A = this chain, B = another copy of it.
Amino acid sequence: MGEEGVKVLGSWGSPFSRRVEIALKLKGISYDYQEEDPYGNKSPELLKSNPVHKKIPVLIHNGKPIAESQVILEYIDEVWEGYPILPKDPYHKATARFWAKFIDDKCLPSLWNALWATKDEEEKTLKEAKENLEILEKEIEGKKFFGGEEIGFVDIVANFIGFWLGTIQEVLGKNILTKESYPYLSKWTEEYVKCNIIKENSPSKDRLFAFFKLRHETIEASK
C-alpha cells in the first residue's frame, strides 16, 4: 500500500485510469499501483472491488473501493487538501461537472465512433464528433485551461482529447482535431501536454502508437 493506504487498479493505456493517477499526483499522494488487463482476465481484486462494472479504474483507500473515474476524482479532491481539482465556488463547480459530463457522455463516444467508423458510418459519426468538438472549442476560447490558469477537473477528464486523440489520428491517418479546424482546442492540447504532471503521467507515445496500430491492423484483417 502507498503511504496513505492508497492503491489504484488501472491500465497503462486507459485515459480513465490515468485520470486517477494524475489527480493523485497533483495532490502529492503516493500510491500502490496494480496493472490490469482490460481485454484479458480480471484480477480477483478488481472483480471484488468493482463487482457491478468489473472495470478499471478502481481506487482503494484504506481497504474501501471506489469505482468510476469522475467519482474517484471528486473523492480525491474531498479527502486530500492541497491542489484544488474542482473549483470551490458551487456555481463554478456545477459548470465543471456539466462539462465533464458532456465530455464523457457526448464527446468521447462520438470521437471514438468517428475514429473507428466503418465506411458507411463515416459521414454520420464524423459530423457528430465535429459538432461536439465545436462546442468544446467555444468553451475553451480565451482560456488557458478549462479550469482557468491551472489544470483542473475538466482538463483531467478531457485527457483523451489532450493526449490520446493525436496518436490515434496518426495511426489511422485521420484528421479530426487539427489546428486549422479547432485552433483553441489545439492550443489547449499543446498547453496540456506541456505540463510536467501530465508528461510524467501519460503513457509513452511509442507504446500507445504500437498498441493502436495493432488494434487497427486486427480490425482491418477481420474485415
Contact = CB atoms under 8 A, between A and B. Distances in A.
Interface of A: 52, 61, 64, 66-68, 70-72, 74-75, 78-79, 90-91, 93-95, 97-98, 101-102, 135
A90 to B, nearest CB: 4
Given A52-B135, A98-B71, A101-B71, A78 B93 contact: yes
**Copies per assembly:** 2
Given A52-B135, A102-B52, A68 B90 contact: no
Given A64-B91, A66-B94, 4 more contacts: A52-B102, A68-B97, A75-B90, A75-B94
Taking chain A's interface residues, is the majority helix, strand, or loop, or is none over half, making it mixed?
helix
Contact of A67 (B52, B66, B98): B98
A98 B68 contact: yes
Given A52-B135, A135-B52, A75 B91 contact: yes
Most chain B CB atoms below 10 A, which of A70, A74, A90: A90
